Amino acid sequence: LLASASADKTVKVWDLSTGKCALTFTHHTDKVQAVQWNPVETSVLLSGSFDKSIAVFDANAPGTAAVKLSLPADVESCIWNPHAPQQVLASTEDGTVTCYDVRNVSAGPLFSFAAHPRKPCSSISISPVVRGLMATCSPDKTVKIWDLEAEGGPACVGERQMQAGSLFDVKFDVNEPFMLATGGDQGELAVWDLSSEANIAKVFKARAEGVAEAEAVAPPAAPVEAETAAASAPKSAKKSKSKKAGKN
């Protein structure tokens, strides 16, 4: 299954085996900027819209109302926290990043801070390897690095002008803990190796080493018959891709 978001205000789920749309969701009232599957509950989706909200909903229960959370401005990007999959994070046009725990939305956001105060925060990414390591980017041409587990709340531990123009997307490498890439309006991809930054490496080195040590002592996985694995894998576990809706 693949999920898509569109300027037509909808989220669609597609059956790639047939190439046909299987489900259409209409819970947003303006352009939908982003959509992402939950990494654990693989039928659950998160979407973000220019209607100043994010929504959590289950593709296996299309008749159930989405849980909608209000935000201070139009949503530019939204993601699940890979280390705490009950948490959703969204960045907005006013440069703010906000985090909710979907198990207790009535308590309000876990945190909200101005990541890029004078410009939109166009994209956010959390390292799938290093806990608490988040990157943001903006049309202000910078990438900023944040420690989500800093005492007192998220703290900026580094930033860089990436020389790629106004930035629209940022993403951590899934294998290299300190490698990220970003792209902007100059049509170029810029790569930043955070391990070369002493201040950043100092904050996150122990967490990265902890992951490596845990992997080193973990017992090897038991072999699984290919036919059994294929039969038991849920269709909704396949990753989705979304295209950002234009704001024109």
DSSP 133-171: EEEEE-TTSEEEEEETTSTTS-EEEEEEE-SSSSEEEEE
- Taking only the tens place, the pLDDT of each residue in 92-106 is 999 999 999 999 999
CB atoms inside a 10 Å sphere around CB 115: 26
Across 15-44, average pLDDT: 96
Q: Tokens standing for 131?
A: 């806990």
pLDDT band, very low/low/confident/very high, at 211 (cuts 50, 70, 90): low
Question: Contact at 8 Å (CB) between 1 and 238?
Answer: yes
pTM of the full structure: 0.81
Across 62-70, average pLDDT: 93
Across 191-203, average pLDDT: 93
Q: Tokens standing for 229?
A: 């694995």
Q: State percent of the chain over pLDDT 90.
A: 79
For residue 222, the model assigns a pLDDT of 52
Q: Tokens standing for 94?
A: 């006013």
pLDDT band, very low/low/confident/very high, at 59 (cuts 50, 70, 90): very high
Across 111-137, average pLDDT: 96
For residue 181, the model assigns a pLDDT of 97
Q: Which residues pair with 169 in a beta bridge?
A: 183
Residue 3 has pLDDT above 70, yes or no: yes
